[in-house]
Amino acid sequence: MSLLPAIIRETGNPDAVDAAVIWLHGLGADGSDFLPIIPELGLPADLSVRFIFPNAPRIPVTINQGLRMPAWYDIREMSIDRKVDEEQLRQSAAEVHKFIDAQVADGIPSDRILLAGFSQGGAVVLEAGLSCKQKLGGILSLSSYFPTVESVSLSEVNRDIPVRVCHGSADPVVPESLGKKAVSDLERLGYTVQYSSYLMQHAVCPQEIMDIAQWFKIRLA
């Protein structure tokens, strides 16, 4: 099974890793983007977690004059609901499924695997998590949206998956209205969603990191 290139870091005892977080970056970034967040989470020493930060392939992005850059899918139009290449997004979700399969094959229970993603990455992990045939521990979507709400193939095994959505109230790139719409769409599909808004732009902030850390601890306790 061929996996996308990824940066991997482990916390706690590397010989006792029993949980994983697969974390996707945003448009134009790479797997190193969220590396600095690991020590900021302040996870307890007895929580041994494998953090996996895949690198998106470099593809032409229409809204950026067709320039090639790391992207999980093409964004064709910056409309309020975003016109995206759903086929490419689903292919990226399939790549996430490969990482899940690899972790399960390595002995990590699927329900101790969390998916996290920022911006484009958040859209992909929503698609990947809700359609995954293996029961997962949760989905974390940061400063993102849900472009495949009408086309996602929902997996019954993850119908009760915990979903955490965080967004900046002053986000000029992905307006908070899109984050709130993702929440309402998820709730319409029957999911329970925990939502938090922060006074920030298209970024992460200290309070958000604290909340993410708490969510990780609860999900992986």
Q: Whole domain around residue 185: which residue ranges? A: 6-57+84-220
- What pLDDT does 77 receive? 80
Q: Is residue 199 part of a domain?
A: yes
Give the pairing type, strands 49-54 and 6-10: antiparallel
In a domain, 67, yes or no: no
Give the pLDDT of residue 104: 98
Residue 172, token pair as written in the block? 């000029």
Provide the whole-model pTM: 0.97
Residue 80: its pLDDT value, please?
A: 56
Question: Residue 76 falls within a domain, yes or no?
Answer: no
When divided into structural domains, the chain yields a total of: 1
Q: Give residue 127's pLDDT.
A: 98
71 in any annotated domain: no
Give the active site residues: 119, 171, 202
107 neighbors 172 (Cβ within 8 angstroms): no
69 assigned to some structural domain: no
| CATH code of the domain covering residue 202 | 3.40.50.1820
Residue 70 in any domain: the answer is: no
HEC letters along 164-206: EEEEECCCCCCCHHHHHHHHHHHHHCCCCEEEEEECCCCCCCH
Whether 47 is in a domain gets the answer yes
pLDDT per 10-residue tile (average), the chain, 221 residues: 95 94 97 97 94 98 94 85 89 98 98 98 98 98 97 97 98 96 98 98 97 97 86
Q: Is 19 within a domain?
A: yes
Cβ–Cβ under 8 Å, residues 84 and 119? no
DSSP at 159? T
